[in-house]
Amino acid sequence: MRACVLHDVRRLEVREVPNPTPGPHDVLVRVEAVGLCGTDLHIFGGEANYNSDERGQPVPLSRHPQILGHEIAGVIAGIGSAVTDLREGDRVAIDQGLNCLSRNRAALCEYCATGDSHQCVSYGEHGITGLPGGLAEYLVIPAVNAVKVESGLDPTEVALTEPLGGIVHSAGAVARATGARYALGSAQAERRVQTVLIFGAGLVGLLFVQYLRKVAGFEGLLLVSEPNPKKRALAAAFGGEGIDPVAADLVAVVAERTRGRRAEYVIDASGAGQVFPAIPGVLRKQGTILLYGHGHRGVEMTALNSVQYLEPTLVAPVGASGGFEADGRPATCRTALRLIETGTVQVAPFVTHRYGSLDAVLHALTVDYHSPEYVKGVVRLNG
């Protein structure tokens, strides 16, 4: 089969690789669509390598090439002998994370047992930690990692289940944060979040806007700091109020819009280093900071001094864990898929770039991803 193989930093090529074979508890997935993520870009560019050896040291791509792609939609093309609840032809969204149930272990580790499967002691991720990802014609995964699509939803939209799952997981992590002074929808007016500020209106920031409005029921002031006018317009279309941090003084605008109160809840969906120096001027004392974005290059740790002075509740979730349903499948992935299927959260308006083959991936990562018009790219395979 054909697959995009990253064999060194910034060295990606489409190669013929062996066809995968499912084990007894696995399914063979014919990949239909794969979303291109910032994590793919970081691994491609050498800024991150999550494939570690037994000592926790990164394994060089030159020694262990990777097939990227973890936002995956597909069709079941084969099933293992022990799989009884899926059949060939079923359309599925994929949870790329392997945990105790994925590995068919009789006893769950402490993290899987408490609904934090993304921190499983034996965790691994297809497309991220060295396991083959979705930028290939076929993929083998544990059957419990395949969540059946119950509608005629386009595969391009199904592929965005994974990033929305990250939002669902993050919202749960914030809701569970102990000691937070302010909370969304608090019964105590003085402890209720009145203003949310989101840094960044890429796909993640835009999904946060929708989730806050449509799922969490937040009716307060929702500010979005984003220099790109197209992305600000998208944020506005879904209930946010855009601020151009280049043309305006962000701190002054937040102070004016909140009458000096500042935001009780700040979400970094950008991964930009310059966010940290800005936080002390926009966050209310003892407010909550959700660190979702990754990267944060170009900032000294001294930027945290003024942030710490505010005594914030700092929440740093990762991935899309959240426990298992009765059939062993990931609850968060299924929740995210249903939100898209029911139209509660829309993802199609954010897909700005669509690619018809694996051969387009290199151009997408090196050129299109850096275009001001780019919000989200999805690769379609096998028709």
Identify the helix (H) or strand (E) that includes residue 173.
Answer: helix 161-176
The topology under which CATH files domain 2-160+347-380 is: Quinone Oxidoreductase; Chain A, domain 1 (3.90.180)
- Exposure of 274 by Cβ count < 10 A (0-12 exposed, 13-18 middle, 19+ buried)? middle
pTM for this prediction: 0.95
In the chain, % of residues over pLDDT 70:
100
Taking 90 as the threshold, does the pLDDT of residue 319 lie above it?
no
Show the tokens assigned to 302. Answer: 């001294």
d(CA 250, CA 258): 12
Rounded distance between C-alpha atoms, residue 312 and residue 265, angstroms: 10
What's residue 383's pLDDT?
59
Q: What is the largest CA-CA distance in the chain?
A: 63
Instruction: Answer whether residue 22 shows pLDDT above 80.
Output: yes
Where in the chain are all domains bearing CATH 3.40.50.720?
167-315
- Mean pLDDT, to the nearest integer, of 261-280? 94
Mean pLDDT to the nearest integer, 134-141:
98
More confident: 158 or 272: 158
For domain 167-315, the CATH class is alpha beta
Dihedral angle of Cα 269, 272, 278, 282, to the nearest 10 degrees: -10
Residues of the chain with CATH 3.90.180.10: 2-160+347-380
Which pLDDT value is given to residue 54? 86
pLDDT at 93: 98
Across-strand partners of 241? 223
For residue 26, CA distances in Å to 98, 102, 240, 323, 332 come to: 12, 9, 42, 20, 20
Q: Is the pLDDT of residue 236 over 70?
A: yes
Q: How far is CA 189 from CA 139, 194, 223, 288, 313, in A?
A: 50, 9, 20, 16, 19
Q: Is the pLDDT of residue 252 over 80?
A: yes
Q: Distance between CA 67 and CA 251 in Å, rounded?
A: 42
CA-nearest of 201, 188, 150, 133 to 329 is 150
Average confidence score pLDDT of the chain: 95
Helix, strand or coil, per DSSP, at residue 382:
coil
The average pLDDT across 226-235 equals 97
pLDDT digits (tens, 9 = 90+) for 179-197: 899 999 999 999 999 999 9
Q: What confidence tier does 303 reach under pLDDT thresholds 50, 70, 90?
A: confident
Residues β-bridged to residue 313: 288
The amino acid at 24: P
Using CA atoms, how far apart are residues 194 and 296, in angstroms rounded to an integer? 27
Q: Over the stretch 195-214, which tens digit does the pLDDT of each residue have?
A: 999 999 999 999 999 999 99
Q: Which of the two residues, 377 and 322, has the higher pLDDT score?
A: 377
